[in-house]
Structure 1
Amino acid sequence: MGTTRQFDRSRRAFVATGIAAGSAALAGCITGDGSGGSGDEDSYTVTMAPMGEVEFDGVPEDAFVTFTQYADMAVALGHGDAVTTLFAPEMSGSTMNKFYDRLEGVSFDWAGLENPLEDGVTKEELYNYESDVHFLDPSYVLTTQDDWAQSDVEEIAETVGPWIGSYHSGVQSEPAEAYADSYEYYTLWELFETVAAVFREAQRYEDLAAVYEDLRSHIESNLPSGDERPTVARVTLGDGVFYAYHLNTSGFWQAETRPLGAHDALADVEWSGDWGEVDYETMLDADPDVILHLWGITSNYDVEGVRERLENHAAGSELAAVRNDRVVASGMRYQGPIMNLFQLEMTAKQLYPEQFGEWPGYESGASYPEIPEGEQLFDRQRVADIVTGA
C-alpha cells in the first residue's frame, strides 16, 4: 500500500486522503491493526483506487449516497439508517423494498431522502450535507459536472468527508484524465467488500459473499450447453428506439447477466457510450429469443405496457421474443449485493426455466414474486439473518 496522506480538519472527524496517483489499491484493504499509523486505536484505513488510502477515525453515521448499489450495500451491512441521500429516491427506494419484502425484518426507509444529482453535484451541496463519507466516484464528478477540478475534489475530502466509489467499473469506461494512471476496475462484490471495510462489517460481507458464491456455483454448474442457450437482448424501450446494453462484457452493470452465459443478440453492435441506441431494424436483424427489459421491475416502467407497445408496433410485433411472450421485466443496473442475489435468480429463471424453474412473471408495481421454497435459488432466511444480525 502507498503512504497515507492526512489532513488537518477542525470541523469534521473523518480524515481522507486525496488522490494517490499510481496506487495499486486492493478493494476493502485495511492496514495493519486498523490504527492507520495514527496511534488512535479506533482509526482505520480503507484503500481503493482512485482515492488511494482513506483514513477514518470512526464508522460513518451519515453517508452521502448517489446510486442505488451503495444504498443496498449499506442495508446489507446493517447501516441503512446512515443513508441520507439517494438518486431518484422514489424509484430506487421502492425497487429496493420490492426485493426486501421477501426478506423477513429487512426494509429501507427512503421517504424524505433527497436526490443529490437532481440539480448536479455542487460543493455547496456537499458542505450543507456535512456527510461522514461520500459514496461517489470523484472521477464521475469530474467527467459529468461543470466547474469541478481535482483541487475541488481534494477540498471536499479534506474539509467535509472522503470519497469512496468506482462509477467507471460499471462498464469499465474511461475515467477522468486526472485519474488515468491510478484508476482500477472492481467487480460488484469487490466494491461491496470496500464498503464493508468502511462500515467495519467484514463478517457480514463474508457471510453474504458465501451466499453469492453458492448461488453462482449452482447456476454455472447447471447451465445448458452453449447451443441450447437463448439469444438475448438487454434493452429499455424508448420512443422509437431501444436503449441497449451488452450481456457479457466486463463491469458490474452486467453482474446479473454475465454469469448466465446467454448469447448476446446485440454482441456485434457497437457504441461509444455507456449504453447504445438501436432502432427497430437493428432489433429485427438480431431477433432475440428473449428481451430483458432493463428497469422493468422499477416504478418507472409498466412491463405489460411495454409488451403492448411492441405488439402494436408493425416491426415490434415481428420480434420472436414478442411473438413467443418472452419480453420480461428485468432489474436495475445499479444493483448492490442483495439486489444482485434476487436479480441473478430472476434472470436465471427467465432464461433457463427448464434448469432453474419457471419464472412466475412480474406484475408491475408489485413486490418481487413469491417463489415456492423448493424453487428458490438461494436461502431467503439465511440472507435475512445476516442482514438483521439474527
Structure 2
Amino acid sequence: MTDSFTANRRNVLKTMGAVAGAGAVAGCTTYGDSNDDTEGAYSVTMEPVGTVEFDEVPETWYANNGSWADMGIALGQQPPEGVWLPSRYHTQYYDEIPGVSVDKSDMTALYQDGVSEEQFYDPKADVNVIDPNFLMNRFKGWSQEKIDRVANQSGPFFGNSIFSTGYDWHEDYPYLSLYEAFGKLAELFQQQERYDAFVDLHEQFQSNVEEIVPSESERPSVAIMWAGAADATSFSPYLIGEGTSFKQWRDLGVRDAFDETSVRDFHDNRGSVDYETLLEIDPDVLLFRGHENQTREEFQNGLVAQMESDDTAQKLTAVQNGDVYRGGPLYQGPITNLVVTERAAEQVYGVEASLFDAERVAEIVDGDL
C-alpha cells in the first residue's frame, strides 16, 4: 500500500524544560534542535504498508500504542494526538528520566467500545502510526476501503504490530524488533541522529545487562500473566515470545515456567490459569500485567495481599518467598524498555545498580547529541 500526503513542517522546536530551563509544550519536555529535518519530499518503506511518501516531515500523529508513542518521544517529537488506550501508555516511566514528561490527559482514546472511523478525523493527524492489518483483522467493519478513506482524508498509515507474535494474520509479513521499528520511525520523522545515539546507548545497556545475568542453572522460572483485578483468581497466561513486550525478559534470560507445560499462550485460545494450575507448575517468580498504573505498595496491598490470604495461592513458592511482582507493560519503546528492564533485573536477580545513564537519555531526547 503506497500513500502520499503533505505534512506541515514544524517551524520551531522547543527546548527541554528541565535541561534548558524552558517550559514544556503539550505536557512533554522532549524538544531540542535537530539537524535531521529533510528539505523536500522523501519516502520510507516498511511492511506491511510498503513505501509511504511524505512531502514534509509530519507534525501531528496518532500512535497505535505506547510502544510507538514512546519511540516518538525518544525522537524528540510532540506526543501523539491519540493512542489506542491512553491507560496503557504508562507515562509514569518518564519520571525516571530528568526533565522528560508527557501529559496524556487530553490524549484521544482511539478504542472506545470499538473503533470508529470518525476517531481519526478529530483532530486529523499528518500520519497514523498504526498497522492497518490490526484494524482490519481485530475489529469488525474495517476493510481496505475504509483504510484507504482514512488515509486519504487524514494521514497515511505507517505501522507494524510488534508487541506480540501471537496474531496469525501477521504471518504474511515480518515482525520487527524494537530497534528495527524504532529505526523506521526515525526515518519517518527524519531523526536518524537521535536514533543512532539511542542505538549506542542501548548497546552499552545490553552489555551491562549481560554482566548481571547469572548462569542458566541459577536463573528463575517465571510465569507472566494478566490479572484484571486485585481479587482475580484466574489469569491470562503469556508465553515469552519474540514480541517487543517481552524484550526485558528475553534479555535477562529468565526461564519461562509455561514453556514446557500444556498451558497455551492467551493469544492462542483466550484461555486462563487458576491457582491450582499454578501450584502444579509452581514457578519461582509470578509476574502480573495489568497493574502498571499501581505503585509497588498498591500492588502489594492489592493482588499480593489477596494471594497471601488465599488457601491455595499462599502455598505457591513465589508467594511464600515474596516473589510476586508487576510484570511490565504490554507496550514498550526505547525509553520504557530501559526503565522496565532495570526494574525487572531487581525483581528477578536482586540487582539494584543503575544499568543505563538516565541523564544521557534526557540529552538525546533534547537533541544534545
Aligned partners of 1:258, 1:264: CA distance in 2, in Å? 10
Aligned to 1:377: 355
Distance 1:82 1:44, change over 3 A: farther
Which sits farther off after the overlay, 121-130 or 205-214? 121-130
1:170 aligns with 2:163: yes
Aligned partners of 2:126, 2:62: CA distance in 1, in Å? 8
Confirm or deny: 8 A CA contact 1:65 1:135 kept in the other structure.
yes
Secondary structure of the residue that 2:364 maps to in structure 1?
Answer: helix
What displacement does 1:207 show? 0.9
Q: Letter of the aligned partner of 1:232 in structure 2?
A: V
Secondary structure of the residue that 1:216 maps to in structure 2?
Answer: helix
Aligned partners of 1:325, 1:124: CA distance in 2, in Å? 47
Task: Give the TM-score of the pair, scaled to structure 1.
Answer: 0.79
Aligned to 1:204: 194
1:261 aligns with 2:257: no
Confirm or deny: 8 A CA contact 2:264 2:271 kept in the other structure.
yes
Q: Residue 151 of structure 1 is aligned with which of 145, 161, 168? A: 145
Confirm or deny: 8 A CA contact 2:177 2:243 kept in the other structure.
yes
Distance 1:235 1:180, change over 3 A: closer
- Runs of 5+ consecutive residues of structure 1 not aligned to the other structure: 15-33, 36-40, 358-374
Q: How does 1:349-360 map to 2 (within 5 A)?
A: 349-353=346-350, 356-357=351-352
What displacement does 1:241 show? 0.5
- Runs of 5+ consecutive residues of structure 2 not aligned to the other structure: 9-36
Secondary structure of the residue that 1:203 maps to in structure 2?
Answer: helix
Aligned partners of 1:101, 1:6: CA distance in 2, in Å? 37
Aligned partners of 2:304, 2:3: CA distance in 1, in Å? 55
Q: How does 1:107-146 map to 2 (within 5 A)?
A: 107-146=101-140
Confirm or deny: 8 A CA contact 1:67 1:334 kept in the other structure.
yes
Secondary structure of the residue that 1:128 maps to in structure 2?
Answer: coil
Distance 1:138 1:300, change over 3 A: farther
- Larger RCO: 1 or 2 (CA < 8 Å, sep 6+): 2
What displacement does 1:156 show? 2.2
Task: Give the TM-score of the pair, scaled to structure 2.
Answer: 0.83
C-alpha RMSD of matched pairs (Å): 2.4
Q: Provide the aligned length of Structure 1 versus Structure 2.
A: 333
Confirm or deny: 8 A CA contact 1:61 1:82 kept in the other structure.
no
Aligned to 1:291: 286
Aligned to 1:18: none
What displacement does 1:82 show? 4.5
Aligned partners of 2:247, 2:214: CA distance in 1, in Å? 19
Q: Residue 217 of structure 1 is aligned with which of 202, 207, 228? A: 207
What displacement does 1:310 show? 0.5
Aligned to 2:70: 72
What displacement does 1:321 show? 0.5
Distance 1:6 1:321, change over 3 A: closer
Q: Percent identity?
A: 34
Q: Letter of the aligned partner of 1:349 in structure 2?
A: E
Q: Letter of the aligned partner of 2:212 in structure 1?
A: N
Secondary structure of the residue that 1:129 maps to in structure 2?
Answer: coil
1:313 aligns with 2:316: no
1:280-320 deviation line (CA, Å, top 9, x unaligned): 12111111111122233324994111111101111111110
